[in-house]
Amino acid sequence: KSSVLSISEDEVKQGLRLQMLTYMMIVANNLQGKKYNPTAVQYISMKDETIDLNRVYNKCGDMPKHALLNSLEEDFIKSRKCAVWIFNEHRNDVDIDARHIKSPKNIYDFDKIQAYIEGIYANFHKQVLNGNIELSPIENTTLPYMAMYHFDGEYRIPTTVEVEGIPTDIPFKLDKEEIAAKGAKEDENL
């Protein structure tokens, strides 16, 4: 997904950053009638930036031109590193040397994430059907047009959405033992 954003586990559990993970779940479960195990999801910056090479070159005039261009390329890549969530056993399928992504060491459990997000949507669905539609925005997550939705109250503090049957403190990240176990399970299936 094109954005400068990233996803935090807390924001997902609070129901604030579900869009990209929801897209991933839809594709993983419904692509051409088959179920897939996703490799990763990531935000990538498509921000249009212009670099004035003459100004940079004049500023670093003593630097050989090829060294300057290499330095600019590294800075460009560094500024556009993707925020990525790698799933389960797919850690070897992505840019592990981290040239283009942030935090490649964190491996997430797709099944835990999917169950939690489905629980959030089920909770939301139940609340809407019961008529519980209250105005309770969280600061810095709403449009600047406050008058449009007639909100003059106080912002609420984001809290983790309670999902039936799943503890709110369940980690989405896999620990080393879980990664090793999932890798061994995948090897058995080959």
pLDDT in single tens digits along all 190 residues of the chain:
556 567 888 989 998 889 889 998 998 888 777 777 888 887 776 777 777 777 776 767 677 778 877 877 777 777 766 677 888 765 555 555 555 555 556 788 888 999 999 999 999 999 999 998 877 777 766 666 656 666 666 777 888 888 888 888 888 888 878 777 766 454 443 3
Q: Which residues pair with 102 in a beta bridge?
A: 83
**37 within a domain of the structure (yes/no):** yes
Query: What does pTM read for this prediction?
Result: 0.70
In a domain, residue 1? The reply is no
Q: Amino acid letter at 178?
A: E
- As a whole number of Å, the end-to-end CA separation of the chain is 31
d(CA 90, CA 37): 9
Instruction: Specify if 158 maps to a domain.
Output: yes
In a domain, 170, yes or no: yes
Q: Render 157-180 in DSSP notation, one character per residue.
A: PP-PPPBTTB-TT--SB--HHHHH
Name the residue among 101, 72, 65, 97 with its Cα closest to residue 85. 101
Residue 168 domain boundaries: 9-45+80-189
Helix (H, G, I), strand (E, B) or coil at 123: helix
Tally of structural domains, the chain: 1
As a whole number of angstroms, the distance between CA 77 and CA 73 comes to 6
Rg over CA atoms, the chain: 21
Within a domain: 60: no
Query: Phi/psi at 44 (nearest 5 deg)?
Result: -130, 135
Does 14 map to a domain?
yes
146 in a structural domain: yes
**Residue in 3, 26, 6 with CA at minimum distance from that of residue 17:** 6
